[in-house]
Chain A
Amino acid sequence: MNKITVTFIVNGKEVTLEVQPQERLIDTLREQLKLTGTKEGCSVGECGACTVILDGKAVPSCLILTGQIGGSEVLTIEGLEVDGKLDPLQQAFINHHAIQCGFCTPGMLMSAKALLIHNPHPSREEIKTALEGNLCRCTGYEQIIEAIESVVKNKKEIP
């Protein structure tokens, strides 16, 4: 089995790592880079807990081999906070109690962030579509959608 040397950007910082052929992006993030904010739920791309942003798009990090992403840019939940200040989405999740056990939260936030990168003023339906691959098994989706809507609304108010 060959080891693969791969260079990519994680949360703005370039990293060069040796990875195993079977190593998935979620394994590299959690085990090599100790970025344990990204959670592993179903391991088959159905729950969204492991969602990260790869080259601007929300993707399941359990269905990507790290060997595939040389030259790419990854944003994880740890990269949302800038200079000690929470991302408006993170703050909105707190304000709207859009968290219960918290396991789905990083994935929810990354899906929401990816949506707002491409579409700063999504409709409620577009928010639902962006979150359709993220399962929450405790608190439900209402507060989460409201939290995202509040960020969209604030953006509209600031010209």
Chain B
Amino acid sequence: MISYEFLTSKKIEEALDYLDKFSKVQILAGGTDLLVNIHRESPRLPPFDYLLDISKIPELKFITLVKNFIEIGPLVTHSRLISEPLIKDNFPVLIEAANTIGSTQIRNRGTIGGNIVNASPAADLLPPLIALRAEVELTSRKGKRALPLEEFLAGPYKTKIQPNELLTKIRIPLLGDNYYTDFQKIGRRKALSIARLSLALVTKIDKEGIFNDTRVVPGSATPYPQSFPKTEKAINGKSIFNIDLEEIGEIVSKEMVSVTGERWSTPYKKSAIATLIKRALGKIVEEVKTNE
């Protein structure tokens, strides 16, 4: 059994003090990943001496509209995200992704901050959050810093968070008019499934039906979720009336393999990722045509 001292904070300041004062502190929020890893004594778990429970810090449970951004506290659970009108009105793609996480019980405990900091290659919220250009705010005793989520991720299960830092905010710029979004996921079954492959798509379609500012972020396709700039470039400038979905499917497959190389799962994932982008684009094209 892994042995540790248990610390708990009800205030950000107190948590930062603990992080400053002690070393080898593991932060506990919803626990839906961490407590599984502790139970299984997972080799993925770095050694730690202290477990700092932050799950009861009210200051980290907000969802607010601040100018042109929605700001989300890291302790917001997936269930809360799903039921929040501000998210529903502005980022339905986040709700689509959150709905596919675990089960009702898991969504009631798991948090958006945990999904980000755990940085699983299969994290369901990472592709849509990256596609939405989310930023994370990190706070330590020394101050605050913000960086784009995509830069914050540093590898599978790795981020750039420092041992004395706490994730204190997720900030997402509102999308302007004429943006469309979609999230696709393939799992081994419907509920409680880890994504075998997922894909978030955000794009703007102008009055002439031309795609631009497209963002394509697959999950479980690369060591950690990242944008696919070649695919994005290939979609931008195309028209909803004659975009060649087969061609885009080939481009996204090639881009994936250019990152991962040929792996045991590549033959499957190559065709599956092509299908996901075709489904996502097809759905958006239909949506735009219906709106006209």
Contacts and interface: CB of A to CB of B under 8 A. Distances in A.
Contact of A1 (B5, B79, B103): B5
Nearest to B31: A63
Interface of B: 1-6, 8, 28, 31-32, 35-36, 38-40, 51, 53, 55-56, 79, 102-106, 108-109, 190-192
A67 interface: yes
B104 A133 contact: yes
Given A1-B3, A21-B6, A45 B53 contact: no
A60 B105 contact: yes
A130 B104 contact: yes
16 contacts: A1-B5, A2-B5, A22-B1, A22-B3, A44-B40, A60-B32, A63-B36, A63-B106, A67-B8, A67-B53, A132-B103, A132-B190, A132-B191, A132-B192, A133-B104, A133-B106
A71 to B, nearest CB: 8
Nearest to B109: A59
B2 A111 contact: no
A62 B109 CA distance: 12
Nearest to A1: B3
Contact of A63 (B3, B8, B32, B51): B32
Rank and list the top 5 A-B pairs by shortest CB-CB distance, nearest first.
A133-B103, A132-B191, A21-B6, A57-B108, A133-B105
B6 A2 contact: yes
A129 B2 CA distance: 34
A111 B107 CA distance: 13
A43 interface: yes
A65 B104 contact: no
Nearest to A48: B105
B55 A68 contact: yes
A10 B4 CA distance: 26
Nearest to A107: B105
Contacts of B35: 24, 45, 62-65
A134 B104 CA distance: 9
Given A63-B36, A68-B53, A133-B191, 5 more contacts: A60-B106, A62-B39, A70-B56, A133-B104, A133-B106
Contacts of A71: 56
Contact of A68 (B4, B28, B79, B102): B28
A68 B192 contact: no
Contacts of B103: 45-46, 48, 132-134
